[in-house]
Structure 1
Amino acid sequence: MAQFLWGLIKAVRPRQWIKNFAVFAALIFSGTLLDNINQLKALEAFLLFCVFSSATYLLNDCFDIQRDKLHPFKKKRPIASGLIPVPIAVGFALLLIIIFLPLSYKLSPAFFFASLTYLIMQLFYSGFLKHIILLDVLVIAAGFVLRVYGGVWTIDAHLNVWFLLSITSFALFLAIGKRRSERTLMEGQASSHRETLLHYPESLLDSLTTMFATSAWLTYAFFAFLQPPIQARQAITLIFGGFELPFTEAKYLMATVPIVIYAVMRYLYIIYEKKEGESPERVLLSDTPMLTTCVIWLILVIGIIYFLGV
């Protein structure tokens, strides 16, 4: 029994819940991070997305059980290894959806729409969309965007279009990097694991990776640039007031752009040199420079938005 329960915990992939932290992006950039009500709403949205994503992981593993048995890593998953029977996995996934989907409507009708769209989209992805070239990448990216905008709609935030473009670009960059790494990892077994990989020539994957890497940092730079100037606190004014540069009032969020550029460059290195881009959450948790970069970026963003200005 203990082994079965541990297998069930592994099957819902708690490590991948790190993707659901995207829900908090709206809370941070909308300037309402310190609002207690919005904090609770965002936390509820995060927990609900953890439940929904786990349900889709269970269903996806049931769809992919034969292919996963051929994968060097995925064959060890509880469902692929036979530890968790398929009927139990499907039943548990449906139970999670039936119980928690009504709660998402109680949180916010707009969040319910995001959750339902996510669930339906992932079901179609597991069933057949993952086998259609380019559409598979778009669906993966859309899942990330829905997480972010689920958070936006939960707290009724209003962010400019460059926020959407930036999130979409980063999502596509991660999705295409995933496919690039999968092709490298599987090599000769691509046809038996995922036929779609055969339709992704390396030249196309390289071109798409370059395109979305560029758009990711560039759209973020535009988003940061278009944020209102921040009036620095008196202490900052006294320190930098003697310089000709407008340190007393400036677009301080632009200071985070070089960090984002480095993060994109580091991820490209991970894809091409370390060949580990197949699992973005594993990269974030295992690659020390990437994790350090993300922490520094987060500290800077929160510090600039909430503590630097008046």
Structure 2
Amino acid sequence: MYSEKAIPLPITNINGREHILSSASLINDENKEEQKKKEKTKTKNKTSKEKINIEKSDSEIMSKNKNDKEKEKEKKKNKKKSGKTDLQRTSSVIEIERRLKNVFDASNYQIKLLDREPGAHPILNNDIANKILPYVTPSAYREYRSWRLIYCLEYHGSNLQTMYDCVYERVPLITAIMDEEGYIFGAYTTEYFHKDTHYYGNGETFLWKYSIHDNSFKVFPSTGSNHYYIISEKNYLAFGGGKGFGLYINDDFIDGYSDNCETFNNEILSCRQQFKCINVEMWCLEL
């Protein structure tokens, strides 16, 4: 607000006449000056605000560029990691294919069956041996392509102690049995047989069966549910345990039986639970 108090006014002479500027005219000039100052301040504030916005925009752009670079770096890192995973996956597939080839392409194996005498009823032949070999563990034993017959019921007689003497400290060992129905089955072990009232052996042990009717072959490895792999007392030899023996033969190597057991979760190896042996062979794998 401006005061209405009288202000001395300057006097000018225009065309010989004096004019006195009115108080209202001066007030109007002051208002214009004040308005100019406000406009100048407003312009200055606007410029300052625009400068702040520009700086803020530049900062956001720099931050965005930084984030984009970090994302690109992370993307490259993930791509590299993904490539490594794909390579590992590819290697795994190749390894699986190699193992399957080892299992099913048994014709590549050249196994020599040694020390078999003529005139006997042979159980193991090259075809069955080729089917067994891919399952032999540790894998180094698969290089043992000379299989030596170290016990045969027809050669050495039906005596369990004689068998223990023949196979003493000989490993790995394949037991092969033929029953009167023509069924062929047995076991693979990496601990030698000896008289013991307790179970022994390890998870490398497995049972197997071969059908002459359709040339089928099955392996029953350890389930890991127990450690009842081998028990060999003076009057019997057995493999597996828990609700029955997977394979059992008595001391005269005539009578035997097979049942499903927890150790191998196997099928009955013969056509029926009880069977009679025609021949029994023990083969030691050698280089």
What TM-score, normalized to structure 1? Answer: 0.24
Structure with higher RCO (Cα < 8 A, 6+ apart)? 1
Flag the structure with higher strand content: 2
Flag the structure with higher helix content: 1
